[in-house]
Amino acid sequence: MNTQIEVANNIEKIKAELNGRARLLAATKTVPPEMINFAIDCGIDLIGENRVNELLEKYPFINRSRTEIHFIGALQTNKVKYIIDKVDMIQSVDRESLALEIERQAAKHNLVMPILAEINIGKEETKSGIAPEEAARFCGFLQSLPHLKLKGLMAIPPKCEKNRNNGEYFCKMQKIFIDISHQNVDNSIMDILSLGMSDDYLSAVENGSNLVRVGSAIFGKRNYN
């Protein structure tokens, strides 16, 4: 993991590259609370956690008054109850059963949970997400649930070969995003397209992403075991 000086320099560099075109989410899987709080001191106002148990362990120690927390990983329905009152958005809503459980738990807490619909843009069997051709129908379903607020779409495209980038997938996502956002449904304002990570965030922004999820390019390589 990088030193504080390296983290500060990386945040400054990435923000300069984004130049206001997209919001920077710091993906903080395996990052300890003290380094997260340092990143917040460096101007990070949005972090993303992938694992429920890790989020719950770190939650009391994060400077939450100065940052939003999004859940960006695969989410089991039986764990929704543990994070429903601890996150500002769930980006990885990938199936109706999960949406219904978020609706149920949000109703119990008398809140409306902002969400993103996760699209499996590469139609990969190993990845979660709704098939692109089902995206409009799924978003319509999400918009019918009163305790959910659909804010946009997210995707993790396939890993491309070294000499290629994910531009074609990002472009497809942008088209789906535009098509659905133009439907003007009352229960949602589709204004977030969450695409791009450490290896491809600039390509994502060039293809319409306005929120990028960056981990290793800020914090360095991490041990995920």
CATH, residue 30: 3.20.20.10
Please tell me the predicted confidence (pLDDT) of residue 162: 44
Q: Which helix (H) or strand (E) holds 219?
A: helix 216-219
Please tell me the predicted confidence (pLDDT) of residue 147: 97
Question: Which domain covers residue 13, as residue numbers?
Answer: 4-219
Is residue 37 situated within a structural domain?
yes
Is residue 63 situated within a structural domain?
yes
Per residue in 99-115, pLDDT tens? Answer: 999 999 999 999 999 99
Residue 52 CB neighbour total at 10 angstroms:
21
φ/ψ (deg, to 5) at 48: -130, 130
Please tell me the predicted confidence (pLDDT) of residue 167: 82
Please tell me the predicted confidence (pLDDT) of residue 166: 75
Please tell me the predicted confidence (pLDDT) of residue 79: 98
Token representation of residue 218:
């800020």
How many domains in the chain? 1
pTM for this prediction: 0.94
Q: Which of 6, 38, 42 is nearest to 24 (CA)?
A: 42
Please tell me the predicted confidence (pLDDT) of residue 103: 98
Q: Which amino acid is at 84?
A: I
CB contact at 8 A, 121 and 129: yes
Is residue 10 situated within a structural domain?
yes
CB contact at 8 A, 141 and 99: yes
Is residue 149 situated within a structural domain?
yes
Is residue 119 situated within a structural domain?
yes
Is residue 117 situated within a structural domain?
yes
Contacts of 68 (CB under 8 A, 6+ apart): 45, 46, 47, 88, 89
DSSP string, 38-89: HHHHTT--EEEE--HHHHHHHGGGS-GGG-EEEE-S---GGGHHHHTTT-SE
Is residue 225 situated within a structural domain?
no
Those residues of the chain that have pLDDT short of 50 are: 162-163
